[in-house]
A and B are shown apart, each in its own frame.
Chain A
Amino acid sequence: MAHSINSGYSAWLKRDLLLAYRRRGEAASSLIFFVMVSTLIPLGLTPESAQLAEIAAGMIWVMALLATLLSVDGLFASDYQDGSLEQLLITPQLLPMPVLGKITAHWLTTGLPLTLASPLLGLMLSLPTAGYLPMLCSLALGTACLSLTGAVGAALTVSLRKGGLLLSLLVIPLYMPVIIFGTATVTYAIDGRLTGCHRWPYSGRYLPPL
């Protein structure tokens, strides 16, 4: 039994990664969005680095959240359309593991690239040096939380025609603790108050699709 549970996880993980690899443009678009929106901030607020440094951490987090929000919409969409989601539902296999596999694939294709790109944005927004490592760590963990939470919303809205906008309405309130913790971690580190132990009570939740 344990074997079949695990195989469900890795099979769906591999499948989704392969699909993402074949549709590289789609996968890259949320990353490009992340980078592009960051150029709006100096344009809209101020190009002065002192002021940018103050808001950099929060801004990077807000943009990462929005980028994840845009991409999580498609988590179940294509599977719902081509019927493989239904196939998954009628298999005797346990549901949680394949879905967790899908979510992991989603994180690997969106959250992880965002995390890796964040130092670049930190540079552009003149984030203080002390903030880089905490930002990487908090984004890596945080985007995983965002993927997990977003999966709930994606599952609830997958059968709706205009689910995307609704999805953001449902999920943004649930994202608020993540952004609070994420930004706080970076701000703490910049102020030199990082204690090393930061709670992430937000992890590990997900619901199987309806």
Chain B
Amino acid sequence: MSWQWFHRLGSPRWFYQTSTRWLPLLALIAAAVLISGLVWGLAIAPADAKQGNSFRIIYIHVPASFLALAGYYIMAIAGAVGLIWKMKLSYMVMKSAAPIGAALTFIALLTGAIWGKPTWGTYWVWDARITSMLILLFLYLGVMALQYAYHSIDAASKAGAILALVGTVNIPIIYKSVDWWYTLHQPATIKFTSAPSMHIDMFLPLLVMIIGFYLFYAVALILHTRSEILRRERKTAWVRELIEPEARS
């Protein structure tokens, strides 16, 4: 009996119905936190002594990078759960996490490039962190491409999960090796020199933004998973019941 919640978690129908109840509230909180963090960070927080106002992009850049990496682990864990317990729902979560994570990685790279222009004087530097983020984007794209390549949903899920897990094993190696590679090369002449520790007035809005991005990620993931549930379960009775009355009226 005590495992009932766990089995329930694996039911797409249960997830769909529960999330219908909770999603509006969650979305509201996410929007509130994001907006307050943005206003605080972009308008109220003091300007940086060296970089002026251009540093404010940090309030997008850092949370996006955080979630880009965390999202990969979320995707891999969902894949592992699917492989181990053969849970349909977790495969759907895995598939939904890939495009969201890829988008966040892209945002992190893009904001980094935009930020790099005024600070470093160039859009792109072969810096260890930037390179690892680029590789992370490739890993995401690989998982997505593999998912789309299979016709059978079952095979696509399994293959995607295995690839995600292999990628997880590799992420520390990639990060380490890129770090090592970077120390081999001449260090960049233009270096990002910010104050070693952020001022508390700058840090607090960043914290709010990170929490806001986590909430936003949860909302996006749930929304994406819900549409995936509808797509995959479109032949079941409960989805038809859900769709049909609206179609008739």
Which residues in window 122-177 of A have CB below 8 A to B?
152, 156-157, 159-160, 162-163, 166, 169-170, 172-174, 176-177
Question: Complex formed: what's the CA distance from A177 to B180 in Å?
Answer: 10
Which residues in window 15-39 of A have CB below 8 A to B?
none
A184:B184 contact, CB within 8 angstroms: yes
Residues of chain A lying within 8 A (CB to CB) of residue B145: 166, 169-170
B180:A184 contact, CB within 8 angstroms: yes
Min Cβ gap B176→A in Å is 8
Residues of chain A lying within 8 A (CB to CB) of residue B177: 176-177, 180-181
The total of chain A residues at the interface (CB under 8 A) is 24
Residue of B nearest to A170 (CB): B142
Q: Which of A157, A160, A177, A181 has the most CB of B within 10 A?
A: A177
Residues of chain B lying within 8 A (CB to CB) of residue A152: 162-163, 166
Residue of B nearest to A172 (CB): B138
B173:A160 contact, CB within 8 angstroms: no
A173:B174 contact, CB within 8 angstroms: yes
Which residues in window 181-210 of A have CB below 8 A to B?
181, 184, 187, 201-202, 205, 207, 210
Which residues in window 34-60 of A have CB below 8 A to B?
none
B87 at the interface (CB under 8 A from A): no
Question: Complex formed: what's the CA distance from A161 to B162 in Å?
Answer: 20
Q: Which of B167, B173, B176 has the most CB of A within 10 A?
A: B173
A interface, by DSSP: helix, strand, loop or mixed?
helix
A156:B159 contact, CB within 8 angstroms: yes
Across chains A and B, the number of contacting residue pairs, with CB separation under 8 Å, is 67
Q: Contacts A169-B145, A174-B167, A176-B135 given: A160-B150 contact, CB under 8 Å?
A: yes
B178 at the interface (CB under 8 A from A): yes
Residues of chain B lying within 8 A (CB to CB) of residue A160: 149-150
B141 at the interface (CB under 8 A from A): yes
CB contact between B170 and one of A156, A177, A180, A184 (< 8 Å): that residue? A177
For B145-169 the 0/1 string (1 means CB < 8 A from A) is: 1100110000100110011001101
B146:A156 contact, CB within 8 angstroms: yes
A177:B159 contact, CB within 8 angstroms: no
Question: Complex formed: what's the CA distance from A173 to B132 in Å?
Answer: 10
Residue of A nearest to B160 (CB): A156
Q: Contacts A160-B149, A173-B139 given: A210-B174 contact, CB under 8 Å?
A: no
The 6 A-B pairs with the shortest beta carbon distances in the complex, nearest first, are A177-B177, A173-B138, A170-B142, A180-B181, A180-B177, A156-B159
A170-B145, A174-B166, A205-B166 known, 10 other contacts, Cβ within 8 Å: A159-B150, A159-B155, A163-B149, A166-B145, A176-B174, A176-B177, A176-B178, A177-B178, A180-B177, A207-B166
